[in-house]
Each structure stands twice: as structure tokens, then as C-alpha cells.
Structure 1
Amino acid sequence: EKIVYDGFRFHSIVSVSPSLRERTIIFNSLSKTYAMTGWRIGYALGPAAVISAAAKIQSQSTSNPTSFAQVAAIEALAGPQDEVQQMVGEFQKRRDLIVKRLKGMPGISCFNPQGAFYVFPNVGSLLGKKAGEFKLASAGDFAEYLLQESRVLAVPGEDFGST
């Protein structure tokens, strides 16, 4: 909700339609926004009965966050947000650079994301072709080619349900 670019603003479904409040559950993590990756801390908002039931399940299926992570989460959420804005500015610079570079590569197109810190380039026009000894039959083949030839790690779209 905070890692957005180009003047885009995040709006939860409840802010758009308050009548959905009792039918909405919001899950969020502090991992990316507050650089707390690996701390495994986040929150859920929703109707009290649903959150209570979810808490019972969660308490039996995962371990609890450490006390220092809980204190840090409170400080992150309640404290000044200027560091977040600085990180978002840096992420936007990186996004702009990678999208520009990808769009300059023959056979690759890339949507300019309005949020997040990753991109999802389209390599579909390269599939069915050869690159050196590599036959590019899938995005997975393309990712393997990048790794072997350029030492660039990419996660193929198939891992996210794309074909």
C-alpha cells in the first residue's frame, strides 16, 4: 500500500465502499515496506469474530514473532514515515532503470508497474527461438539461459501461473 509510484495512490476496498467493512479482511506484512524481511511480522484487520478465529488457527500453525520484532513493528507503524518515502523513491529509480533497459532489449516488452519492486517482462516473442545452444521453449528456458550466459537470476512467469 505504500510502495507505489507515479502519483498512484493505494485505496483499500473498505475506503472505496465502507459498506463492505464487515465482509472484508485485510492482511499486510511489514517485510517490504519497513525492510523487515525475514522477521515474519504483519497484521490482519477485519470483523472481530473472523480475526479471533484466524488468531486461534495462526497460533497453532506458526511460531510467534519475537518480542523485539513486535516492538519494532509498533515503532515502524506509529513512527515517522520519511524513511519509507526515501525507500520508495529509491525503488522507483531502480524500477525506472530496469524497465528502460528491458524495453531496449529486442524481443522483450515490459509493463511499467505502479507499485512493488519487481518487474514482470514479457519474453513471449523469444519463445521458440534459439540463443546459442539454448532452445527457448518456455520462460523457464529463458531464465536458465540468463543464469548460464549472463549470471542473471530470474524467476520464470510459470512459477506465478503465467503461461
Structure 2
Amino acid sequence: MSDAPEFNHEDSIPLCEESDTSVPIIHYSQTVSTSSGEGLRGKRHDTRRHMDNVLVCLSTHDASGRLDHVDCPLIDISNEGLAVYYDRRVTIGSRCFVSYRTISHQPVHVGGVVKNCARIDASKYRIGLLLDRRLQQDELKPSRARPGKSVSPVHHSRKMRSSDGAADPAGAADFG
């Protein structure tokens, strides 16, 4: 056995060598209300990551019913959703797909439902998507837009239109 004295939980513990050992240490406890946060729309379980100079391929149905693949600037991304700028209005509740490459060159192709479509100016909308599945940690790191490099590993896509109606040759990266 050891030479150390046996510790009794009722003994007082000195804060330092000079302190009085008869002064008890008081532990405060607090109850947390269970009603906190109930007024919010929902708790966010994952963080949004703001992205600069990142393009993703957004695939939606156009007015004629055909799929329209567009290189769109990514605003932010989280495990369960993402937000992009787009050059057309999209119906809330409609299905769409997003594809891009990660920084480790892995292709990502995921479906989602439009939850928000807000007009920014005459030819730009902010689209919020709720994804069909949670993204893995490595899928949360899309690669940056590079000239001459295809954004989507799956589709050939068009550039987003600028405010004058022409395709933006810079890849619409100025919207961020």
C-alpha cells in the first residue's frame, strides 16, 4: 500500500498552500430550461461553410421539360443542404441535382429539393436546396473553379447568363 493518507470526500481541499483548509469549495448547479430554442424554425446540427470561387453544376428542368445543366456559383454548403446563385426562377419543391468534384478529385452527384428561391436582381436568384442524403466530410470540400476545367464530372454544362442575357465568360464567379 502507499503512504498517502486516505481521502475522505467530506475533507476540505485547500486552493493553495497558504489558503485556509477550513474554507469549503462550493459547487453551483444550474437547471437549464427545456423550452429554450423551441421558437426557432429548427435546430442546425451542422455548420454552413461559405465558399468563394467555387462552381457546381446545377441540373434542373427548364420550361420545356428538358434538363438544363448550368455552372452556378456555390454560396455555402452543409451536410444537409447548399445554396447557389442561378439565372432562372425555380419552383419551390421541384427536384434538381448538383454535381461537382471535391478537392481530392472525387466526383459528387446528389439530388435535392428546392426549399428557397429568392430574387437577388433582374437575372439572379438565390436557390436553397435540401439534399436527399447527408454529405460525407470529404464531400464538403468542392474544388475551386479553374479555367478550362470541367465543373461537373457527369454533365457538359452551360455558363450562367449575366444580366444582359449573354453567357458570362468568367464563369459567374463574380456573384459571391
Instruction: Quickly name the TM-score band, shorter chain normalised.
Output: under 0.3
Q: Specify which structure has the higher proportion of strand.
A: 2
Q: Specify which structure has the higher proportion of helix.
A: 1
Q: Which has the higher contact order (CA 8 A, sep 6+)?
A: 2
TM-score, length of structure 1 as denominator length: 0.24
Structure exhibiting the larger radius of gyration computed from Cα positions: 2
TM-score, length of structure 2 as denominator length: 0.22
